[in-house]
Amino acid sequence: MSFAFCFDREEDIYQFAYCYPYTYTRFQHYLDSLQKRNMDYFFREQLGQSVQQRQLDLLTITSPDNLREGAEQKVVFITGRVHPGETPSSFVCQGIIDFLVSQHPIARVLREYLVFKIAPMLNPDGVYLGNYRCSLMGFDLNRHWLDPSPWAHPTLHGVKQLIVQMYNDPKTSLEFYIDIHAHSTMMNGFMYGNIFEDEERFQRQAIFPKLLCQNAEDFSYSSTSFNRDAVKAGTGRRFLGGLLDHTSYCYTLEVSFYSYIVSGTTAAVPYTEEAYMKLGRNVARTFLDYYRLNSMVEKVAIPMPRLRKEKSPSYKHPLLRGPASNYPNSKGDKKNSVNHKDPSTPF
């Protein structure tokens, strides 16, 4: 493919982008604006720093009651932008965050029931420098989950330590891990999942993407696939799928750089920034269907926003100081929360 472009205004700056830009600076301004709202269910902390000393932000979105000492937690862990050129990942992640911090009745129910841990930008150096796939030092971070270096892959190392610590906490049920990416050849949104010898576990894993397909017109279940290719062994989805127990589900959420085709039609609809964020909102609301919380939405009272009067409570999962190499062979039984979808009006 080639094209001709006429630079007809000497005083203007022209930029060519593979997709809608989403910079590190924009990301920091966005988080700053959320923090200034002083919401008592939104917490921001610095989980670590990149090689060039940029922030690795971790967001916690949940009811303050779920962060009390000794409280049991059902955790959904979401990461994004491990590949810095995949900017749609940031728009989808922002859609998830915007929905979860809103006063929408579904969002309020989800905050009461779940704890959302979100690391929206795993590769801040790569994003800042304009890299497409690699970190500052030339590593594809999504191939180093097995043994991330605290020196060469500090952001990945910090996130992995936190996840392992949550997994070892008997009060914490790490129910979902979703890593958000963008795809350069496929259309629509879709997911990659893992393959398990246990047929029942494999079938349960298909429930969430099936529900998401019902909620999001641009999500394709037919494009969703489950694999254990050797080349993917170092990815977050594969590593955590092998580490976590049978109550946890790990996915890669992919979304096209370009377009989607609505089921029953043939015309490709170009993605916009808003369309990416809408997919994020639909990902968030699908948890309501998965946990069968629809009846609770009707009981939600008129929202009364609360402001945080004091500093954020200390986080239940501070950074570990030691290596994250010793994992348990098994974990105590956790309550299995796999359910099917109740009918609900899409967001």
* Gap between the Cα atoms of 181 and 191, Å rounded: 10
Match 């989607």 to its residue by tokens. 260
Give the residue among 175, 211, 205, 189 at the shortest CA–CA distance from 289.
211
| Identity at 64, one-letter amino acid code | P
* Residue 139, C-beta contacts closer than 8 angstroms, at least 6 positions apart: 152, 153
Per-residue confidence (pLDDT) for residue 298, from 0 to 100:
79
What burial class does residue 29 get, using C-beta atoms within 10 Å of its C-beta: 0-12 exposed, 13-18 middle, 19+ buried?
A: exposed
CB-CB contact of 292 with 339 (8 Å): yes
Boundaries of every domain in the chain: 24-294
- Write down the pTM of the prediction: 0.85
Per-residue confidence (pLDDT) for residue 142, from 0 to 100:
93
CB-CB contact of 80 with 120 (8 Å): yes
Active-site residue, 11 included: no
- The helix/strand/coil state of 269 is strand
CB atoms < 10 A from the CB of 241, how many? 20
From the first residue on, what is the mean pLDDT of each consecutive set of 10 residues in the chain (347 residues)? 90 90 97 97 97 97 96 97 98 98 97 98 97 95 93 96 94 96 97 86 92 97 85 79 84 97 93 98 98 88 56 44 39 42 41
DSSP code of residue 65:
G
Per-residue confidence (pLDDT) for residue 81, from 0 to 100:
98
Q: Choose the catalytic residue: 69, 254, 273, 298.
A: 254
**333 alpha carbon, distance to own chain's centre:** 25
CATH domain 24-294 topology = Aminopeptidase (3.40.630)
Per-residue confidence (pLDDT) for residue 246, from 0 to 100:
82
